[in-house]
Amino acid sequence: MTNETDRIELTRRLVVAGGLAALAAPSASAQLAGNAFIISGFPAGGMGDLVSRPLAERMRGRYAANVLVESKVGAGGRIAATFVKRAPADGLTILQIPSSIMTLYPHIYKDLPYDPLADFAPVTATATYVYAFTASSALPANVRAVADFVAWALANPEKSSYGIPATGSALHFAGMMLQRATGIEFKAVPYRGGAPLLTDMLAGAIPVSFNVLGEVLPHIRDGKLRSLGVCGPERSKFLPEAPTMKEQGFADIALTEWLGWFLPAATPPDLVRTLNGFVREGLQDPAMVASLAKSALEPHHTTPEMCAALLKEDHARWGGIVKSTGFSINQ
């Protein structure tokens, strides 16, 4: 969740500082004994599977005898993160998690059972994606931009609400930031994930929502939903006609999420780098790049050092945002 210019400069500095060592090709002789598990905190069939399952196939018989993807669902990804934190540091238990669960959650949960900066060895980012501010048929057809929605919300405060896939998510904060910037009454309606939220959006049961772009993109293209803006630092190549929130006067709502892979903190650095190499190799496969693009995901490989730096940077930025809102969740 960083400014793109800052990301580029951060990447340059870290590579110059020695991150290139992580780019060595993975060695077949480095195969680990036993089965490896890629642990996800979300149900099978979701966005993360587009990354984890093709990589597991490529790594099978090379990184470990077998590589399996396993979901440990619950608590918005916290169960999965806690499980991997407590796993043996042998390279066989890998956490795949959206970055906000590691960078936002520490600031809103009072008793988080893991410390993202101390309990994990960052391996790499794998893919980036942006959020969309999306309108349903519940809004008049002339609401085409954020300013149009604000005008409608001011005139219809009793109808003004927005859907989010979970309380305390990055998408929840996008709505809070818009509310603070405009002064509109804007009630968050939490759902149990993106799928039921999308169902209600398509039915016109809720006027707007913040969503992962890939989830709503097919419905924007077929006219069932319409984008009022994207929340990335620049226009998405997957929906270039949609202006960013920043272009529309909301510079703070420039949020980029990334999927990351992590190992338990005590994992030896050579195992971290070996796994990093396998991920890099997989993300360079044109077939995988094309597959990710169908869901508006962009491959984004980093060295372990870059991943650690991005983690710290986003952790600090979310801390400032959460403090400004005063939001917290009591567990």
Q: What is the mean pLDDT of the chain?
A: 90
Least confident among 77-86, 121-130, 251-260: 251-260
Q: Is 90 exceeded by the pLDDT of residue 193?
A: no
> Would you say residue 212 lies in a domain?
yes
Is the domain of 18 the same as that of 102? Answer: yes
- Would you place residue 38 in the very low, low, confident or very high pLDDT band (cuts 50, 70, 90)? very high
Q: 281-299 pLDDT, tens per residue?
A: 999 999 999 999 999 999 9
> Would you say residue 61 lies in a domain?
yes
The mean per-residue pLDDT over the stretch 90-106 comes to 96
CATH no. for residue 82? 3.40.190.150
The helix or strand, by DSSP H or E, that contains position 151, with its residue range, turns out to be helix 146-155
The pLDDT value recorded for residue 277 is 97
pTM of the predicted protein model: 0.88
The mean per-residue pLDDT over the stretch 303-315 comes to 97
Q: Is 50 exceeded by the pLDDT of residue 79?
A: yes
Name the domain boundary from 186, 213, 230. Answer: 230
Q: Is 60 exceeded by the pLDDT of residue 21?
A: no
Is the domain of 17 the same as that of 41? Answer: yes
> Would you say residue 163 lies in a domain?
yes
- Would you place residue 212 in the very low, low, confident or very high pLDDT band (cuts 50, 70, 90)? very high
Q: What single-letter DSSP state applies at residue 61?
A: T
The mean per-residue pLDDT over the stretch 210-239 comes to 96
> Would you say residue 248 lies in a domain?
no
> Would you say residue 252 lies in a domain?
no
- Would you place residue 67 in the very low, low, confident or very high pLDDT band (cuts 50, 70, 90)? very high
One-character DSSP codes across 177-244? HHHHHH----EEEE-SSHHHHHHHHHTTSSSEEEEEHHHHHHHHHTTSSEEEEE-SSS--TTSTTSPB
The pLDDT value recorded for residue 26 is 60
HSE toward the beta carbon, residue 301, CA cutoff 13 A: 19
Cα-based distances in Å from 102 to 37, 52, 267: 19, 18, 18
The pLDDT value recorded for residue 185 is 84
Is the domain of 112 the same as that of 176? Answer: no
Is the domain of 122 the same as that of 139? Answer: no
The pLDDT value recorded for residue 8 is 43
CATH no. for residue 213? 3.40.190.10
Domain enclosing residue 222, as ranges: 130-230
Number of domains in the chain: 2
Task: Give the 3-state secondary structure of residue 41.
Answer: coil
> Would you say residue 253 lies in a domain?
no
